[in-house]
A and B are shown apart, each in its own frame.
Chain A
Amino acid sequence: MSTYTVHVTIENKPGINDPEGETILNDLVLKGNYSFVTKIHSAKMLKFTIKEKDKKSAEKKVRKLCDELRIYNPMVSRITVDVF
């Protein structure tokens, strides 16, 4: 068994508006003349520390947990899972 850090990023699905990201873009970044920025999506990240036999099953188990406990709401959100 090894210890892995698993980052779960929860963000709105495309088409679900993200007023926080839009406000950061329009009222902070673009007003600050960082015109090379075209889009900002806000997201929430949970960092799990888990013990598991390999990276693949670490990802699988955390994904299952997120689905079962509704860590994200699948109607409006999606997750990306990164294992380190």
Chain B
Amino acid sequence: MKVGVIVFPGSNCDRDMYHVLTDVFKVDAQYFWHEKKLPSNLDAIILPGGFSYGDRLRAGVIAAHSPVIADVKRLASRGLPVLGVCNGFQILVESGLLPGVLLKNTSLSFMCKWTHLIVENNKTPFTNKLKIGQKIPIPIANGEGRYYADEQTLVDLKKNNQIVFRYGEEINGSTMRIAGVCNKEGNVVGMMPHPERAVEPQINPIDCKPASLIFESLFNTIGVTN
């Protein structure tokens, strides 16, 4: 059982993610540089947060052309669970794996604060141990985190139950307060907030259990017991 953590030039939450997987949850994980091929025996892929290519042109767009993305697409099409966090979400959106787009926050500022999410879909590999409506205390840290989708895309998102997380409060101007979405099949999930920063009591001032369930949902899906 192995989780691949993709590293792009400018990723900066890759070590946090690796630490949480290996030290907190004792799961086998491996870094993959974005120019490397992904082995087909991975059980899940995580695109961590950061500032790939310094957010040049638009957050995530240059990394979306990385060689590894073809492998991510291939494995995702086979149903492999894929999670993009923050910049990882932006990359998934820019690569076409997830619908919508992430625009600059209405405040125009980089926002780094604690907020909470509301679970809207608990059928994904990353939410199946959570309850609909459950609150997740979690931090955000982004400048381009305002989720936007055009009208037709929103209709499809609602119809296909693709809205996974919403913010519990208006925070950055996101359409319908959307904080995370999945693809139609449900195996590819993207979210702006950082679950890897919310699973340890030392750094979570509120409650680290709900965010832990995001990871435990994945391990539940891929059959890891810990």
A residues adjacent to B (C-beta < 8 A): 16-17, 19-20, 23, 69-71, 73, 75-76
Contact = CB atoms under 8 A, between A and B. Distances in A.
Contacts, number: 30
A75 B101 contact: yes
Interface of B: 57-58, 61, 64-65, 94, 100-101, 103-104, 106-108, 148-150, 153, 173
A8 B106 CA distance: 25
A44 B148 CA distance: 19
Contacts of B104: 19-20
A19 B106 contact: yes
A24 to B, nearest CB: 11
A70 B61 contact: yes
Contacts of B173: 17, 19
Nearest to A73: B101
A36 to B, nearest CB: 25
| Residue of A17, A20, A70, A71 most packed against chain B (CB within 10 A) | A70
Given A19-B106, A19-B108, A73 B94 contact: yes
Contacts of A70: 61, 64, 94
A45 to B, nearest CB: 12
B66 to A, nearest CB: 13
B108 A16 contact: no
